[in-house]
Amino acid sequence: MSLNLSAALSATQKTASGAKPFASTAACIRQHAAERPDAIAIVSDSRRLTFAELISDASALAASFGKSIATNRAPIAVATNNSVQMIVAALGAWQTGCAYLPVDPLGPPERLRHMLAEANVSLVAVDPSLVGHIPAGPWTIVAIDPGSRPDAQTSAAETSVPAHAASDLAYVIYTSGSTGQPKGVAVAQANLTNLIRWYQENFEVTEADRGAQFSALTFDAAVLEIWPILAAGATLHVLARSVALDPEQLRNALVSERITLCFAATPIAEQLLAMDWPHDTKLRYLLTGADALHMFPPAALPFRLVNNYGPTECTVLVTSGTVPSESPYRVPTLGKPISGAEVYVLDANRSLVPDGDNGEICVAGLPVSAGYIGRPDLTAAHFVDNPFGAPGSKLYCTGDLGRKLPNGELEFRGRLDEQIKIRGYRIEPGEVAGALRSHAAVSAAAVTAIESGVNTKFAAYVVLRCPVSGAEFRTHLASRLPPYMIPQYLVRLDSMPLTQNGKIDKHALPTPGDSDLLEVVDQCVQPESEIETEMASILSTLLEGRPVGLHDNFFRLGGHSLLAAQVIARVRNAFGVDLPLRTVFESPTVAELSNQIEKRIFELLKSRPAGELADGAAM
């Protein structure tokens, strides 16, 4: 895997004063299962697991992995969008001495195949209903279905579990890559333990706490939601994504489930801050991050808002701070380094800049991960020798600009490179441009962000060899990129604007307009049926009143993944049907969504007994 973390971790740990003895996350959870077997570990819509049942299910799944585990202890891929399955499979992977690699089984097949191959995966644990979505390769597929196994109730004490070393890998998470391919960040057990201990101490987590989990499992925020809670013996409440991405429903769920600790990505958190909250709300801390926070919390909130900053390469986060209701600063800061982290603001020569001056944010210490799996070249370029630490310790250069404020907190000042961050996701334009250029009709491509108030939109520019439709392009991109990386605008140019050095001049790229978009501009054909009329109203409301015609593309009009989740929630309220979130991406027009709703209503009516069908039809 081209990773050797032992020396770097040893050097880092020598600089950490008063460090506690290492204990792996799995060992902490197993201890709670032994001491409090009947305590509730996980609550979801479909399952309720005690700690004993959680360990038992993980042990049964680990036993089913058998001889499929590679002798080099390569990561076990976990292909599911079900949080309970993912947690069981991750613990199962740890019980075999392996790391886990979360992947989206419904994501682009080529991207998934690349990740499995690069990480040298020999085993894929998959949701039983999604086995057919895993591409063929030199890996064994095992269904995550421990609850139905005859040995699922095996005592945790009867299962032999290898002890984890601090330098063993805990998990791998893929992020967008500038070279046209995603890159896998490999995080060690010691990195994860440091994050968990800081979280538990900083927020005074006890067994009585209730944490919320709803982030996408391939987003490293899920690490922050899941493992500090379970490792403390507290209860994790898994919320449906469609509920969690609708701020009003999320607030109601947090209150009704008596959640005490919750993370919400910045766009959702900002909407939660603007809402009214009952005075008896049990929520103690609302953590946020992944995007720039633009507002301060009202003084009357019954909980504290905590802003966090950190790249995936540094184990989720490296700075954190409670956000006051009033501040001398224009926007909330990123807080101060967490325990075990060393954060520096450096110039181009990697020398410290004076406090108050801009420089690159660089990180050393226990959060710094092992590097990129299978990519020693990228690891060497971004994880450099730490000039301020012990020999062998590493410094990760984030590419983010920042400055140290007089109060010791960090302020974000933008990016050094072209990387784009949209709704919490890091997007490397090079990966998107590479996907565009892989289409035979494209002779040149460029990608850029378009700032619109506090929102960021994503535009792609192409020079074509022959005519091609926007629909064909989106289908091509969807086979190679996850939904959040597909540009909202596809702009056709006769030629790319160039600098004197012959490079694409991104500052000269035009603002997208109807005349140069690849999509055929709809003449706002009006909806006709009641479902179409209501659907157009729902989309228009979410798009801040913008008119939506029958065939207008929701995403071209400004829609994105967070709004797509709200579409699903409003469809449920208006029509009483549940649609998968991917429906909005596959059917992004009023006409197509209305057709999907009609099909779902018909299926529900057809499945009812004859008497109910007649009653339903009469309604």
Residue 150: pLDDT over 50: no
Residue 131: pLDDT over 90: yes
Q: Considering only 61-70, 169-178, 402-411, 446-455, which range has the smallest mean pLDDT?
A: 446-455
Two structure tokens written together for 493: 């140019």
Closest by Cα among 377, 350, 376, 375 to 361:
350
Closest by Cα among 242, 248, 165, 244 to 211:
244
Residues 473 and 573 in one domain: no
Residues 303 and 443 in one domain: no
Q: Is 10 inside any structural domain? A: yes
Residues 313 and 440 in one domain: no
The answer to whether the beta carbons of residues 395 and 381 sit under 8 Å apart is no
Q: Is 461 inside any structural domain? A: yes
Residue 157: pLDDT over 50: no
Domain boundary among 381, 405, 421: 421
Residue 194: pLDDT over 70: yes
566/394: higher pLDDT: 394
Q: Considering only 147-151, 200-204, 479-483, which range has the smallest mean pLDDT?
A: 147-151
Q: Is 147 inside any structural domain? A: no
Please give the pLDDT value at position 579.
86
525 vs 582: CA distance, rounded Å: 25
Residue 523: pLDDT over 60: no
200/150: higher pLDDT: 200
Please give the pLDDT value at position 502.
62
608/211: higher pLDDT: 211
Q: Considering only 121-130, 211-220, 546-555, 556-565, which range has the smallest mean pLDDT?
A: 556-565
* Amino acid code (one letter) for 410: L
pLDDT over 70 percentage in the chain: 86
Range of the domain at 283: 1-22+189-208+239-421
Residue 60: pLDDT over 50: yes
Q: Is 164 inside any structural domain? A: no
Query: Which H or E element spans position 530?
Result: helix 530-542
The answer to whether the beta carbons of residues 432 and 487 sit under 8 Å apart is yes
122 vs 28: CA distance, rounded Å: 27
**Averaged pLDDT, 388-398:** 91
Q: Quick check: helix, strand or coil at residue 195? A: helix
Q: Is 439 inside any structural domain? A: yes
Query: For 207-255, what is each residue's pLDDT tens digit?
Result: 999 999 998 899 899 999 999 999 999 999 999 877 877 788 899 999 9
161 vs 287: CA distance, rounded Å: 33
Residue 553: pLDDT over 90: no
Please give the pLDDT value at position 119.
95
The answer to whether the beta carbons of residues 177 and 183 sit under 8 Å apart is yes
Residue 16: pLDDT over 60: no
Residue 415: pLDDT over 80: no
Q: Is 349 inside any structural domain? A: yes
CATH number of the domain within which 495 lies = 3.30.300.30
162-172 as b/e: b if 16+ CB within 10 A: eebebbbbbbb
Two structure tokens written together for 548: 């939506």
Residues 492 and 439 in one domain: yes
Domain boundary among 448, 481, 516: 516
Q: What's the pLDDT band for 524 if we cut at 50, 70, 90?
A: low
Query: Which H or E element spans position 418?
Result: none
Q: Tell me how many domains the chain contains.
A: 3
Q: What's the pLDDT band for 70 if we cut at 50, 70, 90?
A: low
Residue 156: pLDDT over 50: no
Query: For 351-366, what is each residue's pLDDT tens digit?
Result: 999 999 999 999 999 9
Domain boundary among 516, 549, 579: 516
210 vs 214: CA distance, rounded Å: 13
Please give the pLDDT value at position 581.
77
Q: Is 464 inside any structural domain? A: yes
The partner residues of 593 in beta bridges, in order of sequence, read: none
Q: Residue 514 burial by CB count (10 A; 0-12/13-18/19+): exposed, middle or buried?
A: exposed
Residues 502 and 582 in one domain: no
146 vs 111: CA distance, rounded Å: 28
Single pTM value for the model: 0.76
Q: Considering only 143-152, 174-183, 288-297, which range has the smallest mean pLDDT?
A: 143-152
Residues 435 and 360 in one domain: no
Please give the pLDDT value at position 83.
95
Residues 408 and 436 in one domain: no
147/310: higher pLDDT: 310
Residues 477 and 534 in one domain: no
Please give the pLDDT value at position 297.
93
**Averaged pLDDT, 320-340:** 92
Q: What is the 3-state secondary structure (H, E, C) of 153-194?
A: CCCHHHCCCCCCCCCCEEEEEEECCCCCCCEEEEEEHHHHHH
335/550: higher pLDDT: 335
**Averaged pLDDT, 370-390:** 92
Return the DSSP state at 517: B
26 vs 305: CA distance, rounded Å: 29
- Other Cβ atoms closer than 10 A to 70: 16
> Which residues touch 283 (CB under 8 Å, ≥6 apart)?
254, 255, 259, 260, 261, 262, 277, 302, 303
Between strands 123-126 and 40-43, the pairing is unpaired
Q: What's the pLDDT band for 560 if we cut at 50, 70, 90?
A: confident
503/60: higher pLDDT: 60
Query: Which H or E element spans position 454?
Result: none
Q: Which residue has the tokens 């950490």?
A: 16
Query: Which H or E element spans position 432?
Result: helix 429-437
Q: Is 122 inside any structural domain? A: no
115 vs 555: CA distance, rounded Å: 27
Q: What's the pLDDT band for 611 if we cut at 50, 70, 90?
A: low
Q: Considering only 113-127, 185-199, 429-443, which range has the smallest mean pLDDT?
A: 429-443
CATH number of the domain within which 252 lies = 3.40.50.12780
Closest by Cα among 238, 280, 288 to 258:
280
Q: What's the pLDDT band for 518 if we cut at 50, 70, 90?
A: confident
Residues 353 and 465 in one domain: no
Residues 195 and 260 in one domain: yes
Please give the pLDDT value at position 557.
73
Please give the pLDDT value at position 51.
97
Q: What's the pLDDT band for 618 if we cut at 50, 70, 90?
A: very low
CATH number of the domain within which 608 lies = 1.10.1200.10
Query: For 263-319, what is each residue's pLDDT tens digit?
Result: 998 878 888 998 999 989 999 999 999 888 888 999 999 999 999 999 999 999 999
Residue 432: pLDDT over 50: yes
Residues 387 and 476 in one domain: no
pLDDT over 90 percentage in the chain: 48
Q: What's the pLDDT band for 503 if we cut at 50, 70, 90?
A: low
Residues 436 and 475 in one domain: yes
Q: Considering only 115-129, 248-262, 272-286, 593-607, which range has the smallest mean pLDDT?
A: 593-607
446 vs 190: CA distance, rounded Å: 40
